[in-house]
A = this chain, B = another copy of it.
Amino acid sequence: MTAFDIQDWTREQLQAVEHALDQWVTADAPAALGEAMRYAVLDGGKRLRPLLVLASAGACGGDRLLPWMHDAAMRAACAIELIHAYSLVHDDMPCMDNDVLRRGKPTVHVKFGEAGALLAGDALQTLAFELLTPEHSEIPAQVQARLCGLLARGAGHAGMAGGQAIDLASVGGRLSLAQLRRMHRCKTGALLETSVLMGGVAAQADTMASQALLSYGQALGVAFQIVDDILDVTADTAVLGKTVGKDADNNKPTYVSLLGLDGAQKEAALLAEQAQQALAESGLADTQALQALAAWVLQRRH
């Protein structure tokens, strides 16, 4: 067995994810819909959520993953990326954040019009559930149903969409630290948690492993958002690939505005450590990729 190299691992997984997305997000949808969907998803993004799914499946199954488990994990990885992509498309629209730049490119509504962006986002969300329910597949129905259920709960009113609603209601207002945590646990945390859990389901993780993955995902989710808030203050637009300083401009409460830059950095480091701790206590053998992703979340510059 060769030593684990996170860069090799990441390169290999990203290639597989891009290939799968390219294949599954087809251009043959009517009119400009397929083109807009592909524009929103392909060639961009950190792919953190897909990497978490695949790392999590790997941690639970290692070399013992069956072919259908690989297929289920890749479908889960792409499905959650589609949900993430749809949320960005709708978020960027004029009635929400009114952002014109994303990943260094014009946003979808700038390129395809508002109606085109609205529809593309809608269809990306639907496609996520289509990917999880392939016909004539060896993926057991139980796994398909569980993946759909997890994704719906992570993306919906009690997860990502709920977090967006709190965010929307909070503009210009004051949130306490507890309220801010709740908002982010929904808005960003829920999908990151869901990524890790979906990987576990694809690899048929046992209860103990699932519990450890949940703890890891929860800590990682909040750490990610804190770093996001820090980068909104410290990074520049060219590196970040999106407009910086938007939060302060919109008078949105952030971890930085509540804890200060230093306090936010300490909090993120503490959470990353909690995530590593959960892995250490999990009993899982192959957690190197999950460990590396937690370290990356803390150290990322964009």
A residues whose Cβ falls under 8 Å from a Cβ of B? 26, 29-34, 37, 86-87, 90, 93, 95-96, 113-116, 118-119, 121-123, 125-127, 129-130, 132-135, 140-142, 144-146, 148-149, 151-153, 155-158, 161-166, 168-169, 186
Contacts and interface: CB of A to CB of B under 8 A. Distances in A.
Nearest to A29: B157
A92 to B, nearest CB: 11
Contacts of A127: 152, 156-157
Contacts of A155: 126
A166 B95 contact: no
B95 A169 contact: no
Contact of A31 (B122, B149, B153, B166): B166
Which interface residue of A30, A87, A121 has the most chain B CB atoms within 10 A? A30
Given A90-B122, A142-B141, A148-B144, A165 B32 contact: yes
Contact of A34 (B86, B122, B157, B186): B157
A164 B126 CA distance: 14
Given A141-B141, A156-B127, A169-B31, A93 B122 contact: no
Contact of A129 (B31, B134, B152): B152
